[in-house]
Amino acid sequence: MAIQKKLKKKTRQFIDSKHMLSGITTASFLESTIVPIPLEAVLVPLMQARREKLWLIALMATLGCIIGALFGYALGYFLFDAVGDWIISTFSNPEQFEIIKQKMQKQGFWFVLTLGVVPIPFQIAMLAAGATKYSLSLFLIAATIARAIRYFGLAILVYYAGDKAEHMLRKHKVKTIIVLTTLVLLAWGISNVFSS
């Protein structure tokens, strides 16, 4: 909670900065790679304060995450033996990572898409995708769709709810995550039916 208060204070200073957009891209990159702090705590107040740049903020956050996803994939692909244990112990545990690797091999695209939407450390999905040599293009498409849903979803919330967006996000976050996850799983099920 203290971290979120500090983030909000820094956000208020950052709102009028000329480096705001590049800062959002950097923050999104860091959040998707090494800093497992929800970016929503920064994005929602920033979007509320800078509504004229609402969609651009969502785009830059998505871009930063995609750059981070490429970085995480590359770590898994090229350096898993060197850094894999550290990442696993930081964001997960060996048993959970083994389960994630198996799901990555069986479910691939839909697994990445689901992990990109729900609040589970995305770092594990990136590392597993690289470590299992999953298709980079499919990984990037799934990661882009998932993070665009997340960040543009916030932009839509701010667009329609205005200054009430932060309160609504806190109040309905769990319900929203359940609905989004259900929609992704439903789409996955439908795609399996048509591909059979």
pLDDT digits (tens, 9 = 90+) for 35-45: 766 777 778 88
Which of 148, 150, 149, 169 has its CA nearest to residue 158? 169
Three-class SS of residue 64? helix
191 — pLDDT class (breaks 50, 70, 90) = low
Claim: this prediction has a pTM higher than 0.85: no
Among 68-82, 103-117, 167-181, where is mean pLDDT lowest? 167-181
Which stretch of DSSP H or E encloses residue 47? helix 40-49
Q: What average pLDDT does the segment 101-125 reach?
A: 74
- Among 42-56, 75-89, 121-135, whose mean pLDDT is lowest? 75-89
From CA 65, how far away is CA 173, in angstroms rounded? 20
- What does the domain layout of the chain look like in residue ranges? 2-195
3 state SS of 1: coil
